[in-house]
Structure 1
Amino acid sequence: MATENLHRLVAARWQNSFTRLNQGQPGITGLLAFSEAWTLATDFLHPCDLADLESRKRFDMNKVRSSTEILSKSKMLPLLLENFLEDMRKNQHLITRDVEAFMARYEETADPQYISQLVFRLCEWYSAWCPIPELGQTILHAYMLNFQTHVFSVLPPSFSNGFKDLVSRTFDISRSSTPPPWLNVPSVFQTPDNPSRADYALWAAFEQLGLLERYESLISSVCYEYIESHILETCTGKWDEQMLKPLRDWMTDNIVPWMLMPYARGAKSANEARSMLQGVGSRFDFHVCKTLSDLRTREIFDIIVDYPDSVPALQDLKECLQRVDQRAQLVQTLRKANRKRLLHPGADTKDILTQYVSIIRCLRIVDPPGVLLFKVADPIRKYLRERSDTIRCIVASLVGDGESGDSLVDENEPIQPLQQMQVEDYTDPSWEPEPIDAGPDFRTNKPSDVISTLVSIYDSKDLFVKELQVLLAQRLLAITDGNFERERRNIEILKIRFGEAALQVCEVMLRDMTDSKRIDQHVQSQQDLPLQATIISRHFWPPLQAGNFVMPGQFKEIQDEYAKEFNAFKPDKKLRWLPHLGTITLDVVLKDRTINACVPPLDAAFLELFSTKDRWTVDELIAAVGSVDRTAALKALSTWVDIGILKEEEDNQYRLLEVAEAESDIVHKPPPTRPVPAAEEVPTALTVQQQQAEQMRVFWKFIEGMLTNLGALSLDRIQTMLKIAPNYNRTIEQLAAFMEAARREGLVTVKDGMWKLNRQ
């Protein structure tokens, strides 16, 4: 039974197949026609060898199309496709042969022309084996997929490098309407579709082989590298003009036309092309901003040094950072550069402050809210706090002290009071939240002017006021022509910044100088004396440099006469001379010469002693004038030795040369004049640090008494007990530094945080 049913089923299917293939023709006429059509179609589709085109048969395309139509009606196209693909697989070695040949030439020469020849050769294979359109899109798609799969499987790894080189050549080729000699374009690609583009055929071949889709990222990387090389070549070190707009114009003129081939070849209108290029154009513009941002980030330290000439580069960087999120990289790079090139012992404090001020101004351009400045400035501020002369440099810049830092103060900035931190007003309609990358310690209302920012390095402005008093004292005492208008103007400016109360002492100092001039004029009117004294109030001036020697001889007599006239004019006042300050102009009359010199008082005092006898030892001279440092004494004596008035002999003896020695050539030279020591070289007033050190020596007596009576004490306990001492206002950090200095001197010891006197 089963055998009969099977026979019946096979017979039915055979009849259906016969009917379908015979096409309802009488007898087997249709079957014969199908057989001829199959034979013709398979012969036509059989892959040929391009190296042996003469053996290829000539076909009548009308018959081929008729055969295709017969096979389609018979529903035999899938079988024809399978047969065709099998024939392809058997002949793929022909393609592999050409690929290996061209790639061998490229690997030998690294010349991308062989890659272009290979691409065009593969296109010839593709066109030679491609089915006719009448077979339908299914067969065409299957053919393309199988062809590309085989090609990509046999391409060696070196093809990627060659293809990249070839694509990079298209930037130059695209600007010409004539292909270069090495680009041998086959006749099949020489079409008038786009005669103005010499690279049209090359991109058409890339598209036909599927290379555009497969190597899309590689093509993009070529454009990225082209953009990077142009930016590095044209923008490196060029900070005096904005480069972002010219770069975008260059992109419009050079990159966008090139982009039409790989990214908008199928566009039928300008609007369609613009729509197709919008996405990739945005990526390339992003890369322009990123590359320029990376370049300016690497150059940021030098850009800041070159401020304000580098403002255009900073404006470019600001715009790039709005497009590219590389703010953290900028902060990291600048902080690293500051550590390496700025924050080290070899850098002068004034240079650090100058660079810090430039950083403030530059980063305000790049990031107005101040987040970048806050992150970059923190290490600089901590380092400046550790330097002892930071306050002095800042104060010198406030009063325009010569070369001490005028560049820190921008003359265009309005003079305004020091800004203090304020609590944010959330009810303000213009209030804005802090930037997303701001840290927990950031405050948007930090001082905006440079001076307030510099003063805010320290917790209190009292240190600056004291340093202002010291610096003003030195400047006032250095004035010899009696013109105090500049200092009066400086005080008025400082009143605006620090307030009138803080500058009252400075007002008294300035008034002292005016009164001193008037008193000196009165004394001179009573008795013509070769002495002009500057008279100041001891209680309102900073402590001046100590000096206890006594002027001898005629200098002492002149001082006494001046003091007598002063006491007559001011009976309730008493003069206390500071003989180590000031200068003396002398005419030294010797037997054979007269020498004019302008010297410090100690130099004059020593020479006056030689008027009593011709030979003195250093110890005798020091004993004759009083308490004088031996180093200072030797320096004073060397002045006269250099001029040729004294001669140093054995046993630290000095002899007066009434007659110049014959072997000396000093007689034939004009006598040198020693200049008045500058205020920076010989400070007249004690600095704030020196004053603090002197005061801490006073407090040492309190500390010594505590440790003697109470034994070992912690630093906190010492600080608490010192607060009851008069005028003690030191922080625990300052106390710790002082105790550490005392330990190094062997006065105290410390163990487990407990300090005690060293009994040894």
Structure 2
Amino acid sequence: MASEALRNQVAAKWQDSFNRLNRGSQGISGLMDFSKAWAVAADFLRPRDLGAPPKDFNTHEVRGAFDVLMQCRMLPMLLESFVEDMRRNQHLITNDVMRFMAEYEVPTDSKKASGEADVIGRLVLLLADWYFAWAPGGELGHTISSAYIVNFQTHIFSVLPSTFAGGFKKLLAATLSLFTRGTTPEIPASVQDPKLWPSFELLGLADRYESLIASVCYEHIEVHVLETCTGKWDEPMLGQLREWMADKVVPWMLLPYARGAKTPEEARTMLQGVGSRFDFHVCKTLCDLRTKEMFDIVIDYPDSIPSLHDLKECLQRVDQRSQLVQTLRKANKKRLLHPGADTKDILTQYVSLIRCLRIIDPPGVLLFKVADPIRRYLRDRPDTIRCIVASLVVDGESGDSLVDQDEPIQPLQTAQVDDYTDPNWEPEPIDAGPDFRVNKPSDVVSTLVSIYDSKDLFVKELQVLLAQRLLAVTDGNYEKERRNLEILKIRFGEAPLQVCEVMLKDMTDSKRIDQHVQFQSSSVMHPTIISRHFWPQFQAAKILLPGQLHEIQESYAREFTTFKPDKKLRWLSHLGSIRLEIQLQDRTISADVPPLEAAFIELFSEKDVWTVGDLVARVGPVERPAALKALLAWVNRGVLREESDGADVQRFRLLESASTDAEAAPVRMATTGSRATLVEEQPTVLTVQQQQAGQMEVYWKFIEGMLMNLGGLPLDRIQTMLKFAPGYDRTVDQLGGFMDAARREGLVNVKDGIWRLNR
């Protein structure tokens, strides 16, 4: 049984509710007004099908009904009733969604992306119509409007299938193409409908798929950058991309990212953050593209300089320096650092790489990281120094120089210790490695020379190259070599090139001495007289010129001794050239030939037939392939004929008359054509590698004596003891390479770092 107090409390609450609904009227007239207001409001809010007649209500009456319900504090109950009515009619919207999505998901080969976008566009516009058909109206208050929006959007998102996201993305891409490419027949009418983007906002699609909207813009930027910038390095593209963004993409960005902006300043403020993100993506996409193309950009230098400036600006905005280093190192290893690449091509690419990376990164951190494998590979190539030196003295008009002719000539630079007391001192970049130094050599020549620890190797190679070029001069004009030498003095200093000065002086003195000898006793010989101790070693091949050639040599030597009593000529008879005029019975032949060819044909003045062995015995220690090459040269000229008696003895006969052997000429030419390649032309002056190999053969005697007397020795101990040998200037690495070569020949063996002789 309820207590009297409880019954009184319930009665009071019931009376209070009745008074509120009756609004203090007599009887139940107020309650009747409430019932009528509830019926009008509920009927006004009740959802209807799109095909039903439109609502026809008196606005004043509807507003009055909602006022009555508000005074009675019954709006929450009305809202619950409205939500329940929406829930009961949601199948109408669901049917339309399923119908359109079924049309979208039909697998048709002929359906294009524009057709799929049209289906989704029409669906969005239809959902917007449903929204307006069920909307209660904003004049009824924020509470009802908010509840309607939440419930309507919740139902829409609950019935949309997973495939809708893909279709919505295609619809967004179509709207963006409308701004960037203009109206085209491929763009459907639903995409061009001005109510489309307001519908996105009404349905909550713009907020729900915000990341999808951004991805569409990102992908469109990537496609545009690849289409317009791939392989185009001769003009700056970053500025053009930003202009394209401002003219084409930003107007589209106003739709999703500046909704509700009332002034241009307000829209600019709303786009500031997202615009920065899209500009970052432009720089990142262009940076990725240029990073992939970097190897070819280096090849195309200097035409590709604009693309390098673009990449520099992109790297300042996008931190992808490590990706650039990794990509370049990988491309260099695959396309450059392999045995099939010529050393000159590697050096050319390296020089272009130096110039390109200095544009991108002036401090040189990127160059230091990328160039390290190239420098180590070039250091192991035997002809690297020769190629670098040749580029320093090459003729300016040939176009083969690694050095830009417009660059100022300056001395070689070396890395120096940091001076921390310098007020202009700056710390190393944050991504610099432990071995990096800011004051690395900045000019190309110094960078190339710094591949090796010492410049002495370059000086020796310069001496060899200058000797070859001086001996190749035939007109007596050495001004070009003198000019090259002055340039090299600026780079390497005067002291290391004093030997080259002596070599150049020898050429001018030789011409003066020859003029004096010719004045005393005219001679057909014009030798080049050089100082033996200041010139590189020559190819070791001694021949004895027979007959009148020997007499001409002796006559010239006597006149020289008369002019220079304290000096004596030592002939290098295998070098130079001799102009001959050979008189035969029916013809006269003139030719400029090497001394060996002249010596052989001179012997044919004694008798008409010679064997190869007899000719070599008369001339001196000549290898048989070289002798055959010299003889076959006269066969090609029709002066000699090769004979064989079947006993594997080669004979050569002098042809006094060419007509008697005309039928043999074709056979002779065919026979000699294959044999002319037996011997390759050898350079007059020994290269630095050949000189070093010859010297190491001498030092092998020291090494052999050490290992024989002391047993096994480590490499550093052998190096220490070899330093006492006269003229030894090899590094431990060079000695290690020589010992490895000796091991391959079976002279020594190594175990646990200890070298021993093979007994």
CA positional deviation for 1:5: 3.3
- Of 131, 139, 143 in structure 1, the residue corresponding to residue 136 of structure 2 is 131
Matched residue, 1:188: none
Matched residue, 1:10: 10
Change (3 A) 1:325 1:6: same
Structure 2 residue 498 is the aligned partner of structure 1 residue 500? no
Structure 2 residue 703 is the aligned partner of structure 1 residue 698? no
User: 1:12-31 maps to which residues of 2 (within 5 A)?
Assistant: 12-31=12-31
Instruction: Assess if the C-alpha contact under 8 Å between 1:174 and 1:198 holds in 2.
Output: no
Structure 2 residue 455 is the aligned partner of structure 1 residue 461? yes
CA positional deviation for 1:592: 2.2
Q: Distance in 1 between matches of 2:695 and 2:368?
A: 36
Instruction: Assess if the C-alpha contact under 8 Å between 1:646 and 1:654 holds in 2.
Output: yes
Q: Distance in 1 between matches of 2:221 and 2:624?
A: 71
Structure 2 residue 329 is the aligned partner of structure 1 residue 335? yes
Stretch moving more, 301-310 or 35-44: 35-44
Instruction: Assess if the C-alpha contact under 8 Å between 1:179 and 1:199 holds in 2.
Output: no
CA positional deviation for 1:36: 1.5
CA positional deviation for 1:742: 1.0
- Of 81, 84, 106 in structure 2, the residue corresponding to residue 83 of structure 1 is 81
Instruction: Assess if the C-alpha contact under 8 Å between 1:363 and 1:373 holds in 2.
Output: yes
Matched residue, 1:755: 755
Q: Distance in 1 between matches of 2:626 and 2:169?
A: 77
CA positional deviation for 1:490: 1.0
Q: 1:758 is aligned with what amino acid? A: N
Q: 2:343 is aligned with what amino acid? A: T
Paired residue secondary structure (1:756):
strand
Instruction: Assess if the C-alpha contact under 8 Å between 1:644 and 1:657 holds in 2.
Output: yes
Matched residue, 1:165: 170
CA RMSD, 1 decimal: 2.3
| % identical aligned pairs | 70
Change (3 A) 1:405 1:443: farther
Matched residue, 1:741: 741
CA positional deviation for 1:198: 5.0
Paired residue secondary structure (2:610):
strand
Stretch moving more, 445-454 or 226-235: 226-235
**Structure 1 residues 431-451: Cα deviation after superposition (integer angstroms, max 9, x where no partner):** 222111111111111011100
Instruction: Assess if the C-alpha contact under 8 Å between 1:394 and 1:454 holds in 2.
Output: yes
Q: 2:543 is aligned with what amino acid? A: F
Q: Distance in 1 between matches of 2:530 and 2:175?
A: 84
Structure 2 residue 103 is the aligned partner of structure 1 residue 98? no
- Of 281, 285, 292 in structure 1, the residue corresponding to residue 279 of structure 2 is 285
Q: Distance in 2 between matches of 1:336 and 1:656?
A: 63
Paired residue secondary structure (1:637):
helix
Paired residue secondary structure (1:539):
helix
CA positional deviation for 1:88: 1.4
Q: Distance in 1 between matches of 2:243 and 2:344?
A: 42
Change (3 A) 1:402 1:751: farther
CA positional deviation for 1:11: 1.4
Instruction: Assess if the C-alpha contact under 8 Å between 1:240 and 1:312 holds in 2.
Output: yes
Q: Distance in 2 between matches of 1:407 and 1:350?
A: 10
Q: 1:614 is aligned with what amino acid? A: D
TM-score computed with the length of structure 2 as normaliser: 0.94
Q: Distance in 2 between matches of 1:315 and 1:183?
A: 41
Q: 1:53 is aligned with what amino acid? A: A
Matched residue, 1:115: 120
Q: Distance in 2 between matches of 1:250 and 1:694?
A: 67
**Structure 1 residues 571-630: Cα deviation after superposition (integer angstroms, max 9, x where no partner):** 111111111111112222222222222221111111112222222222222111111122
Instruction: Assess if the C-alpha contact under 8 Å between 2:174 and 2:187 holds in 1.
Output: no
Matched residue, 1:513: 507
Matched residue, 1:569: 563
Q: 1:663 is aligned with what amino acid? A: E
- Of 377, 386, 394 in structure 1, the residue corresponding to residue 371 of structure 2 is 377
Aligned residues, how many? Answer: 738
Q: Distance in 1 between matches of 2:6 and 2:638?
A: 142
Change (3 A) 1:482 1:176: closer
Change (3 A) 1:78 1:180: farther
Q: Distance in 1 between matches of 2:143 and 2:664?
A: 114
**Structure 1 residues 710-758: Cα deviation after superposition (integer angstroms, max 9, x where no partner):** 2222222222221211111211111111111111111112222222221
Change (3 A) 1:234 1:176: closer
Matched residue, 1:141: 146
Change (3 A) 1:292 1:141: same
Q: Distance in 2 between matches of 1:209 and 1:199?
A: 16
**Structure 1 residues 355-404: Cα deviation after superposition (integer angstroms, max 9, x where no partner):** 10000011111111111111111111000000011111111111116899
Instruction: Assess if the C-alpha contact under 8 Å between 1:179 and 1:198 holds in 2.
Output: no
**Structure 1 residues 536-581: Cα deviation after superposition (integer angstroms, max 9, x where no partner):** 0001111111111211111111111111111111111111111111
Matched residue, 2:218: 224
Q: 2:119 is aligned with what amino acid? A: Y
- Of 485, 491, 498 in structure 2, the residue corresponding to residue 491 of structure 1 is 485
CA positional deviation for 1:182: 7.2
Q: Distance in 2 between matches of 1:654 and 1:178?
A: 89
Matched residue, 2:208: 214
Q: 1:703 is aligned with what amino acid? A: I
Instruction: Assess if the C-alpha contact under 8 Å between 1:394 and 1:405 holds in 2.
Output: no
Instruction: Assess if the C-alpha contact under 8 Å between 2:507 and 2:528 holds in 1.
Output: yes
Paired residue secondary structure (1:407):
coil
Matched residue, 2:713: 713
Q: Distance in 2 between matches of 1:395 and 1:569?
A: 38
Paired residue secondary structure (1:662):
helix
Matched residue, 1:593: 587
CA positional deviation for 1:61: 2.6
Q: 1:145 is aligned with what amino acid? A: V
Q: Distance in 2 between matches of 1:681 and 1:73?
A: 116
Matched residue, 2:234: 240
Change (3 A) 1:516 1:596: same
User: 1:27-426 maps to which residues of 2 (within 5 A)?
Assistant: 27-50=27-50, 52-54=51-53, 58-108=56-106, 109=111, 111=115, 112-174=117-179, 200-400=194-394, 406-426=400-420
Q: 2:152 is aligned with what amino acid? A: F
Structure 2 residue 608 is the aligned partner of structure 1 residue 611? no
Paired residue secondary structure (1:724):
coil
CA positional deviation for 1:199: 5.2
Q: 1:219 is aligned with what amino acid? A: I
Stretch moving more, 738-747 or 256-265: 256-265
Paired residue secondary structure (2:523):
coil
Q: 2:52 is aligned with what amino acid? A: L
Q: Distance in 2 between matches of 1:684 and 1:173?
A: 74
Q: Distance in 1 between matches of 2:134 and 2:377?
A: 76
CA positional deviation for 1:172: 4.2
Q: Distance in 2 between matches of 1:130 and 1:180?
A: 35
CA positional deviation for 1:682: 3.1
Q: Distance in 2 between matches of 1:180 and 1:543?
A: 81
Stretch moving more, 215-224 or 335-344: 215-224
Instruction: Assess if the C-alpha contact under 8 Å between 1:644 and 1:666 holds in 2.
Output: no
Q: Distance in 1 between matches of 2:426 and 2:195?
A: 57
CA positional deviation for 1:429: 2.4
Instruction: Assess if the C-alpha contact under 8 Å between 2:392 and 2:401 holds in 1.
Output: no
CA positional deviation for 1:353: 0.5
Q: 1:613 is aligned with what amino acid? A: K
Q: Distance in 2 between matches of 1:556 and 1:122?
A: 112
Q: Distance in 1 between matches of 2:12 and 2:364?
A: 89
Stretch moving more, 607-616 or 691-700: 607-616
Stretch moving more, 694-703 or 645-654: 645-654
Structure 2 residue 423 is the aligned partner of structure 1 residue 429? yes
Matched residue, 1:470: 464
- Of 444, 448, 464 in structure 2, the residue corresponding to residue 450 of structure 1 is 444
Instruction: Assess if the C-alpha contact under 8 Å between 1:544 and 1:685 holds in 2.
Output: yes
Paired residue secondary structure (2:690):
helix
